[in-house]
Structure 1
Amino acid sequence: YLKGVQRFDAAEIPQPENLSQTLLDLMGSPNLGSRDWITSQYDQTVRTNTLVGPGSDAAVVRVKGTRRALAMTSDCNHRWCYLDPRAGAAHAVAEAARNLSCSGARPLGVTDCLNFGNPENPEIMWQFREAIRGMGDACRALGVPVVSGNVSFYNETRGQAIHPAPVVAMVGLLEDASTRLESGFPSAGLTLLLLGDAGEPSIAASEYLAQIHGREAGAPPPLDLEMEKRLGELLRGLAGRRLLASAHDCSDGGLAVTLAECCLVGPVAVGAHIRLPEYERADAALFGEASGRVLVAVVPAQEADVAETARQAGVPCTRLGTTNESGRVRIEGPGDHGLVDLALDDLQRAWSAALPEMLE
């Protein structure tokens, strides 16, 4: 089936006339909307040890009586795993490790929950085999062992199997809990940098393509595991030196969704203004997806130090813009061409209402 679903030509996809509305639609979609409707219904404090709760790239829990803390995250992009099971499963491991590094934690180990359809179907069994191979590729490259897991087969309704979903849960360690990072921008007046490749990502296999255009097609983006390893080491080193104010993995929904999330999930809502590098398609620059990208906020006085450290690590570093007190998210293209201009209140309403409107 891969030949059919991976066949994709971006030129056939029309670009939206209103990119601001497109961002609102994505923020209010089931896969990207706030999970607060769920997480607010259970105890998040873990015997008063929770340092970072739901909403960041990883939860962080202190190890009482020590300076240490454990960071925890889980990941799986079922669409990528359907379009390429081996690549999709490898991406799940890489993103989990990246999320831990965004919190300042060193990945320690993986457990998994491998969810598939009927293994008596050769196609499903092939998906299962390829997913395991992909997880193995990434775990070996990143030096993270799989310590436990389980398998759930026969997930079907009327003979229709779910997309393969090898969910990866990963635990990491912070030697000093006070160096932990969160996703949200903590204040105005910070410089925003993109760590990782700033080239134009693809809309193939993206959340944007599925939600806005109703298509699941194309192949997942390329995954450079050596770059992922360097990026993780860089993030943990910068966090340990207290050079970052926040860090957020750029994944589902692309850079525009990542920026909006960072503006909304901090201690207070913070505005932002960024300018994108050259691009061929505005929708790809905003909502296209790629691996190995992290949006970080830094104090302006430390921007040069962060950029030089990234250069020495072999990780691209691109200045995008700043945080501010405007109460808006503004994204421009080259030549001050306006692409997105939205009030934080409108983004918050769309993002917060995603699950309640669907479930209540």
Structure 2
Amino acid sequence: MTNAEPTLDPAVTPDVVAEHGLIPEEFERIKKILGREPNFTELGIFSVMWSEHCSYKNSRRELKKFPTTGPNILVRAGEENAGVVDIGDGWAIAFKMESHNHPSAIEPFQGAATGVGGIIRDIFTMGARPEFCLNSLRFGPITEPVRRDSNASPAQIEPMKSSKIAANRRLFTGVVSGIAHYGNCVGIPTIGGEIYFDESFEGNPLVNVFCLGVLRHEQLARGAARGVSNPVFYVGAETGRDGLAGAAFASRELTDQSREDRPAVQVGDPFKEKLLLEACLELLARGAVAGIQDMGAAGLTCSTCETASRAGSGIEIDLAKVPKREPGMTPYEILLSESQERMLIIAKRGKGNIVREVFEKWDVPCAEIGNVTDDGMMRVRNNGVIAAEIPAKPLAEEAPLYSREAKALRKTAPFDLATAPKIDNHEALRQLLGDPT
């Protein structure tokens, strides 16, 4: 491996390392992987790929306790962009649930909307046509607390501050609107969901979105950079500075200063996503794709190193060829941008003309930016000059894993039916049937 070319980027100091959410032990591990100190761009790459949002370094040991195999499992959890299960007669379903908590806490409408967009892309990346979405939401209280104990005095009941209620309502309204807006514009309905309000979610909502798609077994696509010399295409929206380092942001603790992180929240365009969806499914149907990957968390960084790692190959791209929405973007910004509605496609050799033809038909930007290599490296050039050079597998799969201290939840008080509001059973059933979601 050759050293990456020096750039005019800031020096990599202990303070800069800490600002990227990396601890000293992780930085030492990075130096061992590279055999040298990383430059500023490479540090940013590791910071997003080794964030909790991308690597699950704090939760992976717990997640591994869940079963992931079975006779009907075609793609198990964690293996690809979504799980795939055989449902018989040559048909399968692809589905996934993912969170967008931190972005939704800062910018509820866009945070939730882009969460929907990302989960939809994960489904059609597998070759499936998305059919519907669901959601699971948690917020702080949006109404004044109701006194259940008639013997308690007002002084014994801590009143909910009106400002907190207003903030929770703003989050609730924005998140629900964002989910509905994106799904409706793409044409994928949200058919149901569940919601819960509790003080423990005050200012830190949980926004989980689920999407399911249907495909034939033979339509199953993979996110792997296979085939040395196969061309690599960037398709979808141009890259901008929105969502910059969003994966690292999504892994941080929320604070009162988080409002300053609004630029880390992505901005979605569901109408462009609809075009991207149809173009990708048509291209897959024409047999021109060797591998396909969504540019979600960590954007171009994640899509390149993960596809190379899965295939045991390498990948080389030139950032000068990436479609950009803003002038003067640095390699750091291009690689860490999380602009929405973008995909990476590894085309079969000799099929590049089909890729261009399909995306021109759907009026979606398309550019050949690199090729698959056989050296296991994620190599990034900018106008031919190396900006980053990192072994793909350690970057994508060898983040340090941690076992964090855990506390058992306090036991909740038993539900007392006598405290439930009185309602006519027939009327309750009528309301439920009329509005099941």
Q: 2:308: which partner in 1?
A: 263
Shift of 1:294: 0.6
In structure 2, C-alpha distance between the alignment counterparts of 1:166 and 1:90, rounded to whole Å? 10
Q: Deviations over 1:319-339 (max 9, x none)?
A: 1111111121100112x1211
Instruction: Report sequence identity in percent.
Output: 21
In structure 2, C-alpha distance between the alignment counterparts of 1:308 and 1:358, rounded to whole Å? 50
Shift of 1:183: 1.8
1:112 to 128, 135, 148: 135
In structure 2, C-alpha distance between the alignment counterparts of 1:359 and 1:270, rounded to whole Å? 37
**Range with bigger deviation, 92-101 or 216-225:** 216-225
1:296 aligns with 2:345: yes
Shift of 1:286: 1.0
Q: Deviations over 1:178-218 (max 9, x none)?
A: 11112222343321111112334335572345779x98412
1:168 aligns with 2:168: no
Shift of 1:101: 1.1
In structure 1, C-alpha distance between the alignment counterparts of 2:291 and 2:353, rounded to whole Å? 16
Of the two, which has the highest radius of gyration?
Answer: 2
In structure 1, C-alpha distance between the alignment counterparts of 2:183 and 2:171, rounded to whole Å? 18
Q: 2:390: which partner in 1?
A: 342
Q: Deviations over 1:130-188 (max 9, x none)?
A: 111111111211222222211122152xxx725233211011111x2211112222343
3-state SS of 2:118 partner: helix
2:355 to 283, 303, 306: 306
2:104 to 81, 97, 118: 81
AA in 1 matched with 2:121? R
AA in 1 matched with 2:205? P
Change in CA separation of 1:186 and 1:152 when aligned onto 2, cut-off 3 Å:
farther
The Cα RMSD (Å) is: 2.7
1:91 to 114, 118, 125: 114
> How many residues are paired up?
337
Change in CA separation of 1:123 and 1:245 when aligned onto 2, cut-off 3 Å:
same
Q: Contact 1:263–1:269 at 8 Å: present in 2 too?
A: yes
Q: Contact 1:189–1:299 at 8 Å: present in 2 too?
A: no
**Which TM-score applies when normalising by structure 1?**
0.85
AA in 1 matched with 2:303? T
Q: 2:318: which partner in 1?
A: 275
AA in 2 matched with 1:60? V
**Which TM-score applies when normalising by structure 2?**
0.71
Q: Deviations over 1:255-288 (max 9, x none)?
A: 1122112222x2x421111101274222111101
In structure 2, C-alpha distance between the alignment counterparts of 1:147 and 1:311, rounded to whole Å? 33
Q: 1:185: which partner in 2?
A: 225
3-state SS of 2:339 partner: coil
Query: Which runs of structure 2 are paired with 1:224-235 in the superposition (5 Å)?
Result: 224-235=269-280
In structure 2, C-alpha distance between the alignment counterparts of 1:357 and 1:337, rounded to whole Å? 40
In structure 1, C-alpha distance between the alignment counterparts of 2:251 and 2:117, rounded to whole Å? 24
In structure 2, C-alpha distance between the alignment counterparts of 1:352 and 1:252, rounded to whole Å? 17
Q: 2:185: which partner in 1?
A: 141
Change in CA separation of 1:163 and 1:182 when aligned onto 2, cut-off 3 Å:
farther
Q: 1:58: which partner in 2?
A: 82
Segments of structure 1 that go 5 or more residues without pairing to the other structure are: 1-12
Shift of 1:88: 1.3
In structure 2, C-alpha distance between the alignment counterparts of 1:330 and 1:274, rounded to whole Å? 7
Segments of structure 2 that go 5 or more residues without pairing to the other structure are: 1-8, 13-38, 144-164, 322-327, 407-437
Q: 1:251: which partner in 2?
A: 296
Change in CA separation of 1:83 and 1:32 when aligned onto 2, cut-off 3 Å:
same
